[in-house]
Each structure stands twice: as C-alpha cells, then as structure tokens.
Amino acid sequence: MELKRVVVTGLGAITPIGNTTKETWENALSGVSGAAPITHFDASLFKTQFACEVKGYNSAEHFDRKELRKYDLYAQYGVVAAKEAIADSGLETLETLDRNRVGVIIAAGIGGLHTFEEEAGYYALNKENGPKYNPFFIPKMIADMAAGHVSMIYGYRGPNFATVSACASSTNALIDAFNYIRLGQADAIVTGGAEAAIYPAGVGGFNSMHALSTRNDDPEHASRPFSGSRDGFVMGEGGACLVFEELEHALARGAHIYAEVAGGGLSADAYHLTATHPEGLGAKLVMNNALADAGMKPEDIDYINVHGTSTPVGDRSEVKAIQDVFGEHAYKLNISSTKSMTGHLLGATGALEAIFCVKAVTDDVVPPTINHVDGDNDPEIDYNLNFTFGKAQKRTVNAALSNTFGFGGHNASIIVKKYK
C-alpha cells in the first residue's frame, strides 16, 4: 500500500505569550517571557508562586454563558485553538467537505483538573449531607472532551479521541493524526493539545515532586534550559492545534500549505516514574525512529525544538541523546527550547512546539532559548552546540524535529519539512 502524503494547512494557538498563532510566534521570535505571579488562585503559601498563564483571555468572547457550563478551562483553550486552525485552513467554509472523513484528535495530559478540584472540595465541605455533584462534572473533567466539543461544533465525524501520555500527549496526537491520514482513513484531522492545570492541586502536586522552579524573586527568568543554575520547569497553560490534511485533498481545494509532515517516532525509557534515562536511551531511540519513519538522515535536520524543560537531569540527558544521534552534525544544527518563554504546557506542549517547527520551516528562522547568562554553565553540557541563546537566528530550515518526553517514560518526536 502506498502511503499518502500529509501536509499542514492550518495553525491555531492560545498561549502564555499570545492569544493567536501570529502573536505567539512574533513574541517567541522577540524572546518574550510568559512567566509572572500566579493569578488563578492565591499561591502565597506555595513553594512556587508563579507560572506562565494565558493573559487577557475572556471566555465570554468565545462562548455564551449556557455553553460555558459545559467547559473546563482546558477544553476552552482547546476549542479556541482549534477554531483558529480550522478557519486558517479554509475547511470552515468548504462546502464540498466530506465531514465523515474529517477527524479531531486533541490531547490533554491531565484534563479538567480545576473542575475535579472544585467538585472534590465541595464534597469534602458538604459530605455530611450526602453526595451532590454538578451534572456536568464528569464531561467537563475528562481529557477527551476538547476533541468531542470540536467535533460537535463542526460536525466532523471522522476519528475522534484524545491521547494521554503526560507531556508527550499532543505529539502522540499529531502522530496518530498523521498515520490515519497517510493510511487513507481520513482526509483531514484537527489535532493538537490543551491544558489548564495552574491550580492548587497542579502546582502543589508538582511542588511535592520538586519538579518546579522556585525562583519566586525572578519569575521572568526562571525557565532557563541548559543553564547551570536551572532549578525546575515553569508550568504553562493553553491550547495549540494544527490541521493535518492529505496532500491531494489540499491541492484539489487550493489550500495554503505551510509544511509537510515527514515522520514520527515513539519510544519508552522503561526506566523511572518521572526522570528521563540519564544516558538518554529513550530519547535516542525516539529520534532515530522518527528519522527512519521519515526516510531521512540526521544531516537532513536543521533545527531541533527540544523538550528542554529546565530540569537538571532532563536537559543533560537530551543533549547527550542529540550528540549520539546526530554526531558531528549536532554542531551544525540549531537547537532551542521555547519552554524558556512559554513555560511547559504539559499535554499541550508538543502541539505548540510543532507549530514553532512549522513556522521555522516556513519563515527560515529559529526561535531562541532565552534566560541563559554567559558563564552560567553546566559542566556536563557541551556549549559548542548552538542552543540559539538569547536571540532568534535566521537560517535555512528545510526540516525541523520536535521532541517531547513525558512522565512514565513516554517519548514522541515528529518531523516537519518544507513542502516541495
């Protein structure tokens, strides 16, 4: 069976550094930090009191009051991103669209944490009177509901589900979408991720694991991947979606094509509940798997958007894996961690970083890794590599690879390239 080619025809994002794809990309190229004191709740008693929240978001601009009763914030972000991506793709106004062959695969690593927290808290306060729960509790909480809402809004009846693999979730969603289309089971799929976990249970839970930065005196510069003084990741939130489409279907309707999806890889560390393998074994395997799936060589890659969360062990192991996979070519690559600006969007991070890779390929520019200060080095990291510190760099980007690694040892990588 000849596999079909898959292209990207729509982009949508709502993030800590922009409420649209355009604003997010412009701020990423400018090196804007999305980190600031938490406003979603009173975090004054928490070890970490800051995060990368979405800013200036007004739910009333996107949903009516009746609809909002059914939406956790994470699902709102997913739908907002999906609507932008669908409008950008032109599918929204395509009268001949076969909606039976359009799917929606939108991931979440956690789902409706805020809804769960509210309902559990209500029961704890009122348990002597017996259980009483909101009838929308379960549908608001479950991690597949962003995908469900999008399918219902647009009548898309193709493959419809969510993937959950912690911080690799939305890259898994993208790879699933890619595979369904190239196998001929769908003409187009709206795919991505959404997350909104900046609430007491989310921040407190990650604090208890010592996973978050506690740089409360300087949140703007707290996410500092590959720096010697890094002390944990900064939690982010938001949504990011792409429209993946079968090439001939896109050409037949005259769609704008951003890039081609070249391949994807999956692997497991099989090592630890939360830590990456110190030698990067799973990371090496997943990048090699992605390259093999794309039929590409290491030297075909120009840019890697790394997982790069700003954790001590994770950053080191990913660098080791890159050096092992790419050899001497590793020193000709651009590498950057956009989490230095957006924070870590958990289940939505892979989709957002795939958008950054698409834009890098389209615009021939690499977004920076911010917050590194000269001399703030980790002796176990080779700074002869080009981490794109400080400023965006113009260069030809024919192909870009995005890495995402999740708790539980889940690894996913996807490659996009210029459409020719």
Q: Are strands 188-195 and 160-161 parallel, antiparallel or unpaired?
A: unpaired
Q: What is the Cα–Cα distance from 51 to 200, expressed in whole angstroms?
A: 12
Closest CA to 151 of 141, 161, 143, 142: 161
Q: What are the backbone dihedrals phi and psi of residue 303, each rounded to the nearest 5 degrees, phi first?
A: -145, 135
CA angle 119, 71, 112 (to 5 degrees): 50
**Tokens coding 265:** 């890889």
**Distance between the two ends of the chain, CA-based, in angstroms?**
22
**Cβ–Cβ < 8 Å for 240, 348:** yes
How many other CB atoms are found less than 10 A from the CB of residue 138? Answer: 14
Q: Of the listed 52, 149, 167, 372, which one is catalytic?
A: 167
CA–chain centroid gap for 192, Å, is 7
Catalytic choice (249, 307, 372, 410): 307
Give the β-pairing of 259-268 and 6-14: antiparallel
Phi–psi pair at 202, nearest 5 degrees: -70, -50
Helix (H) or strand (E) holding 166: none
Half-sphere exposure of 373 (CA within 13 A, CB side): 7
Distance CA 17, CA 340 (A): 11
What string of H, E and C letters represents the secondary structure of 72-136? CHHHHHHHHHHHHHHHHHCHHHCCCCCHHHEEEEEECCCCCHHHHHHHHHHHHHHHHHCCCCCCC
Q: Dihedral of the CA atoms 209, 161, 284, 364 (nearest 10)? A: -100
On whether the CB atoms of residues 350 and 239 are closer than 8 A, the answer is: no
What does the alpha-carbon distance between residue 212 and residue 203 come to, in Å, rounded to a whole number? 8
Q: Is residue 307 annotated as a catalytic residue, yes or no?
A: yes
Q: Which of 344, 357, 372, 410 is catalytic?
A: 344
**Which of 74, 110, 98, 93 shows the shortest CA–CA distance to 10?**
93
Q: Is-catalytic flag, 272?
A: no
The residues carrying an active-site annotation are 167, 307, 344
